[in-house]
Amino acid sequence: MDARFACDDRFPWRRVLRLAEREIADRHLDLGGLRVLTEAAVGYRRLTPVLAALAGAAEVYAVGRDSAGASRRDAEAQTGWLADVAGVRDRVRFFPTRLQARLHTVDVVTDLPGVRPIDEAIVRNLSPGAAVTLMRGTSAWRRPDVDVASCRRRGVPVAGVDEDAVGLYRWTALATVHELLGAGVGISGSVLAVAGDGPAYGHVVRALAQLGARVLVATPDNAGRVTLYGGERIGADLGEELTRSRLSEAEALLVCRSAPQRRVIGPGGEIDAAGLAGLAPQVAVVCLEGDVDRRSLAAAGLSVSPGDGPVAPLDLLPQAVIELHAAGLRVGEVMARARRRGSSPPAAEELAAAEADAELLPKDLVAHR
């Protein structure tokens, strides 16, 4: 068994709890007197309920869910074991579904998979003054996951984590190195292509360049910015003829688009898999963010990693999930305490932006996103 999923000393729980305590102190996370609704999970993702309890939460309601990777029973067992060794098991309670949790007492709701969807059925039963925290940046938000319109109608503040301000994109760069090495692609001396935009791709380009790679970049950003990152701009996206003419130079193509659901490779994307294989049959595809059609890539004879979705640094290193979810819980804490003091939902969100590195959704967000 992978140590990440163990319930014994193979799991590095002493180091994990030390990292958690340090992050709680550094982020000034204090959930004392608050009740948190989050998920029970496996691997390093089991950390979130324990992190909330270590930060003083009066109660943590953890919801497990059967998934392709693990059963609800596994999620509860792994989360409960870590809560035991952390000494907080008495404040972590498990529920088979989100609707069975004591919603009327909840102060902070996380939008993690075990809790989603946060819809009208959840929102109308929350305690007055509850807040919803998006445990990623707002670009990852989708209406089917969190019904922000219902939250606003019922006076529930919602905000995400400013991942750039918190410094989380460095984990994307480390995950990139992990995936390239796993695919058998060397970095130093290699030519690597990156299709990217948003704040994350620059960290990836800079890291690869510092490790000795020549980095060709397809991005809407201007050439001057790409040069500052250490790369060479070859076009705006993979659909441009000039960009395609350079792909044959690369050993790997890294996809790092800021919109998680944006199709980059495959039908309706910037390039189809057969076209990519025709231009660069040697290239290994690594999906960091965005969407690629894995089936068509495999049919075209191209390797793609990881095999079941974009790279998740949270699955590779405990510190990544600790930093991200501590930041998310801090956003929720600030909003919930502001509401307790009588602040309006918009004022609570603004306070979280000022004090907790929160990222706010636009007031006129597109309802169908």
**Separation of alpha carbons 64 and 72, rounded Å:** 5
Residue of 49, 82, 13, 19 lying closest to 329 (CA atoms): 49
* Interval 74-83: pLDDT, tens: 999 999 999 9
Beta-carbon contacts of residue 362 (< 8 Å; ≥ 6 apart): none
Inter-axis angle of helices 318-340 and 47-54, to 10 degrees? 50
Is 175 part of a structural domain of the chain? no
**Separation of alpha carbons 3 and 227, rounded Å:** 40
Per-residue confidence (pLDDT) for residue 368, from 0 to 100: 41
Question: Are 20 and 125 members of one domain?
Answer: yes
Contact between residue 254 and residue 288 where contact means Cβ atoms under 8 Å apart: yes
Element (H, E) at 192: strand 191-196
Question: Are 321 and 249 members of one domain?
Answer: no
In the listed set 255, 274, 302, which residue is the last one of a domain according to the structure?
A: 302
Q: Give the range of the structural domain holding residue 269, as residue numbers without chain letter.
A: 184-302
Q: Within 13 A of 274's CA, how many CA atoms are on the CB side?
A: 2
What CATH number did the domain enclosing 245 receive? 3.40.50.720
Q: What's the one-letter identity of residue 127?
A: S
Question: Are 215 and 296 members of one domain?
Answer: yes
Does residue 117 have a cis peptide bond before it, meaning omega lies within 30 degrees of 0? yes
Q: What are phi and psi of 233, to 5 degrees?
A: -75, 130
Is 308 part of a structural domain of the chain? no
Contact between residue 131 and residue 157 where contact means Cβ atoms under 8 Å apart: yes
Give pLDDT < 70 ranges for the chain. Answer: 1, 310-311, 365-369
Per-residue confidence (pLDDT) for residue 2, from 0 to 100: 87
Question: Are 354 and 281 members of one domain?
Answer: no
Question: Are 14 and 125 members of one domain?
Answer: yes
Question: Are 152 and 67 members of one domain?
Answer: yes
**Separation of alpha carbons 223 and 318, rounded Å:** 35
Question: Are 66 and 112 members of one domain?
Answer: yes
Question: Are 276 and 159 members of one domain?
Answer: no
291, β-bridge pairs: 263
- Helix, strand and coil percent figures for the chain, each rounded to 5: 45, 15, 40
Question: Are 284 and 227 members of one domain?
Answer: yes
Is 369 part of a structural domain of the chain? no
Inter-axis angle of helices 169-182 and 318-340, to 10 degrees? 150
Is 148 part of a structural domain of the chain? yes
Is 94 part of a structural domain of the chain? yes
Is 368 part of a structural domain of the chain? no
**Number of structural domains found in the chain:** 2
Question: Are 31 and 114 members of one domain?
Answer: yes
Per-residue confidence (pLDDT) for residue 1, from 0 to 100: 65
**Separation of alpha carbons 243 and 227, rounded Å:** 16
Question: Are 249 and 107 members of one domain?
Answer: no
E strand segments, 257-306: 263-265, 284-289, 291-292, 304-305
Question: Are 258 and 336 members of one domain?
Answer: no
Is 366 part of a structural domain of the chain? no
Is 364 part of a structural domain of the chain? no
Per-residue confidence (pLDDT) for residue 365, from 0 to 100: 67
**Separation of alpha carbons 213 and 189, rounded Å:** 5
Planar angle of CA 128, 110, 318, nearest 5 degrees: 150
**Separation of alpha carbons 18 and 37, rounded Å:** 23
* Interval 54-63: pLDDT, tens: 999 999 999 9
The CA–CA distances, whole Å, from 337 to 23, 49, 71, 92 equal 20, 19, 34, 21
